Amino acid sequence: MRKKVSFTVQNIPDFKTALLNWSQQFYETVWLDSNGHQGKYTAFNGILAVDALTSIVTDTENAFEDLKTYQNNTKDWLFGYMSYDLKNDIEQLSSSNYDGLRFPDLYFFQPKKIISINGNRVTFQYLNMVDDEIESDFEAIGSTMFSRLSDEEHTEGIKIKLRIFKDDYFKRVSKMLQHIHRGDIYEANFCQEFYAENTKIDALKTFKKLNSISRAPFSAYMKVNDKYLMSASPERYIKKSGNKIISQPIKGTAKRSKDKQEDLRLLQNLEKDQKERAENIMIVDLVRNDMSKSAEKGSVKVEELCKVYSFDQVHQMISTVVAQVSHDKNPVEILKETFPMGSMTGAPKLSAMRIIEELEASKRGLYSGTVGYFTPDGDFDFNVVIRSILYNQSSQYVSFSVGSAITAKASPEKEYEECLLKAKAMRQVLEN
């Protein structure tokens, strides 16, 4: 079904840039970049999928069943996303908050052309109908590697607005804390939106800027017609490799410092921070519970608990939970049984999602959803859509959201500061 041809490329950074520029001619593009982070479960340096042969686009109603049918019927590579609001297909929930972006709830496509990078090897996997274009596409990408594409004129910084102002944020977090002190929930991820209206951006250039200052392991650039995602996500939602599933929730954030001693002190403080550890452990318990619905009995294990990793912008506390699934377990079922990811909801999950909907001011949509892919044999890998800019080109609406985990010991002032820290890279990119 697909022809595979590999080439050796010496200058991979320039090839990646040329590859992304070349991809702009297509209506459907997904680019996933690990930015050189070589973790235990990293499959590639980067992978690009373009040009849909078939696709599925749907709202939340019956979304997982529709996706299951589509994935079963194609048995090919599929790239796309699931928005946070697919929670409404799993539980008796709704999403009625303001939505300025208006992305479909679920979108996947079967690409005619896939190009992956591993070390210095670039592999083209093209459907038979276009496999005669491999050589010419490789040459076309290579020919632009050393030409400096002229940037459009310098654009003024965008004026970012807040959906929730500071005092209102404090009030909403105080209400969340009342729910926690009453025993309705232990923890919930509370998010706020930053946005700009009547605004045009160059999505690819914006992604390149965001990626260059964040260099995150689960970065993603997606273009589906007039809708764009520019993501510098540090977090994996879930991966399936053979009979093994892996989830790596993040809870716990600290800023970086250019001073090495100070940076080490910030890292060590995060490692010892009892509040951050408690948040992380609560979500690990939730993820274990979610994974146990799919896993073979007794196979769910915590491989790494509260390990601090350093990224360009922040230090993050990450845990790794693994499990075994039976060989005949449907991949879409695994996603349905673990979605939405625990790090973006709270515990207990259903109550947390209800309270989140009541207290947040905007519909999450693709933010805190997931982008990734299925392989032909039913493996998959999906990120968590955080640290991400979303753009609807037709309505000229730009948005990014940030959130933090609210627990019994949370201080609204500190949570607000954490949100501003997480928003820093996106603001920097958009506001110049």
Active site residues: 235, 251
204: CB partners within 8 A, 6+ apart: 20, 21, 24, 221
Distance CA 105, CA 86 (A): 7
Q: With H, G, I as helix, E, B as strand and everything else as coil, classify residue 264.
A: helix
Backbone angles phi, psi at 162, to 5 degrees: -105, 135
Between CA 32 and CA 378 the distance in angstroms is: 18
What is the CB neighbour count within 10 angstroms for residue 121? 14
Cβ-proximal residues to 428 (8 Å cutoff; 6+ apart), any chain = 213
The residue type found at 251 is K
Do the Cβ atoms of 357 and 344 come closer than 8 Å? no
- Is 232 within 8 Å of 206 (Cβ atoms)? no
Distance CA 354, CA 183 (A): 14
Question: Which residue's entry shows tokens 């949100």?
Answer: 419
Name all contacts of 3-6 with Cβ < 8 Å and 24+ positions apart: 3/124, 3/125, 3/126, 3/128, 3/131, 3/134, 4/123, 4/124, 4/125, 5/123, 5/124, 5/134, 5/135, 6/121, 6/122, 6/123, 6/124
Cα angle value 226/230/235 (rounded, 5°): 135
What span, in angstroms and rounded, lies between the C-alpha atoms of 252 and 262?
18
Contact 354, 342 (CB under 8 A): no
* Omega before residue 249 within 30° of 0, cis: no
CB atoms within 10 A of CB 120: 13
304 backbone dihedrals φ, ψ, rounded to 5°: -150, 130
**CA-CA distance, 115 to 113, in Å (whole number)?**
7
Question: Is the CB of residue 390 less than 8 Å from the CB of residue 199?
Answer: no
